[in-house]
Structure 1
Amino acid sequence: MTHRIAILGASGYTGAELIRLIATHGGIEIAALGAHSKAGQSLAQVFPHLRHLALPDMVGFDEIDFDGVDLCFCALPHKTSQEVISGLPKNLRIVDLSADFRLRDPDAYEKWYGNPHSAIEMQKEAVYGLTEFYRDEIREARLVAGTGCNAATGQYMLHPLIAADVIGLDDIILDLKCAVSGAGRSLKENLLHAEMSEGYNAYAVGGTHRHLGEFDQELSKLAGRDVKIQFTPHLVPANRGILATGYVSGDARQVHETLAKAYASEPFIEVLPFGETPSTHHVRGSNFCHIGVTGDRIAGRAIVVAALDNLTKGSSGQALQNANLMLGLEETQGLMLAPCFP
């Protein structure tokens, strides 16, 4: 059986990544590509690298007929996403890649995103889309909220360690480097080649990054008490990838053993041998996340390093992994592509 899907926001980076992955999926057919500024254009015009695919032209959202569509991916900006999703058919299953349904508390959403939530009843219905930890809920969900790419990377490192109570909760430091595609496809002056190349910079310094709302929500829920990490993201002159370095208090060997045990049966999470650390080169274009652990020269401290592709495992690959579960397909279908190296 082939499932028909639609992609809203198909002209952005995450939309293109969804198309790329679904092209070799086999169990999913793209029935409609929705765009706004690119409506009326062909896939070849918007993404020349995908011109070999025989897919429908991009159209306005109101031109899509959802009869016979089993699931819709929404790859839209926050605020726009909740407005569009509210108008979709009530029986349509949805995977949202925006931030609009990630936070369960409407006040927390308003705090981090600066505007009141306009679809609170749907927000209550949404399941947080960190697949490895919400698999059963995702299978039954109508609406799944994809995670932030930075939030996913940090949680893959920290979730099993907090669950097993092997690290301190009050001194977690997360230093993260993210490629420029994490900022989306819209034109931004600071992302011009002359502005961005040959250097990198910290941003949202001092605890202002929006993904901290997800860290606060998920890690505190897990621990049964407030957990607030120190988190500083950095923008690096690369197209894809996230490399996160976490500094935690705990026995390094125990930290490694805990992660290895937690992810032993997970198809997309690779825990490296103790003392090895990953590179973004090793996960580029794939749905894999690599995690490494080393000790520190300071006794009782461990360093955890994680790498994933922000467009794949951090966003569109995660979205497809969740859609597979929702549609009753093999979770790994369309996602076992090897990383592209070099």
Structure 2
Amino acid sequence: MNGSLQSLERHTANFCPEQGPTNTSAFTFPRTVLGRFASSKELCERGTPNAEIPKASALCNITTRVFNAPNNLSCTLTLDVIDAEISGVSVEKKKSLASSAQILTSRPERLTPKNITNAVNIANMLLSSENISTDIAVSTVATVSQLLSARPEKFPDVDCKALSKLTQTLQNFSLREESNNLVQSNLAVQSFKGGQEIHQVQLTLFKATGNDTFIPGNDTFIPGRIKLDSNMMPFPKEKVDLQMNITFSEGMNKSVGFVLYDSDRFFPSQNFTPSLNTKRRVFSANLFENGFDTIEVQFSVTPSVVEKFVTSIK
């Protein structure tokens, strides 16, 4: 019995517990994995443009293990409106629009090609802004992560130029200060900040462990399973899902950014047809400047039912 209780406590520690209405929030949020957004059980009423969409979301705080203050959605605000209005607004307004976009894409199975294109445009605008707060960055990365869960058959009608621009925007964003270790279920943006001279960078994605058993989609990205290091660490192979080692021919003190996609939705290919029950993950490593004589990249994966072999160095 004690073992069962310890196991339950260990698994519970990975979540924010369900939260009902409080003095500061009128919403109910379900138990949620640390670092992810919860959608309120309260929905926009029928007859409104956002009928059946959650009225609010709240981030499950990794440090406090309770929900942050909720973000509210106007049930008449749509992705079309946000896309049209977001250019030139204040940072505070961008924060509100970013959280609204996150809520409006929180039901990815409902998204149309037009919805996806609007959300991609919004993410491009927010992540390329000169002034971007941590709250904006977190909400926008969550939005992009949710887009990667949209139905595959919707993407052929999505604006391909906007998608291509978004992947470039994410590469550039991974080198900015605001990109420090943002992880959502389908997207992770990691950055090794410059400042001291390094000769190598190692990115390691660890396999799910017993502690992750109760986490939905436990092969998706989770903060504790992604590690960046400036030394080549010898981790046991049975614990590693993927590892990328980058070695520079000379010392470097600039940032190195990584973008990890849990699927290839944003990278359509006419030459590749995935086999049944498989998916492709896409990884990019990004450097501030490429003035080295040699950059050596070692890329290793552990065989599984998930195909992970698409990578790029920019």
- TM-score exceeds 0.5: no
Query: What TM-score bracket applies, with the shorter chain setting the length?
Result: under 0.3
Identify which of structures 1 and 2 has the higher relative contact order when contacts are C-alpha pairs closer than 8 Å and 6+ apart. Answer: 1
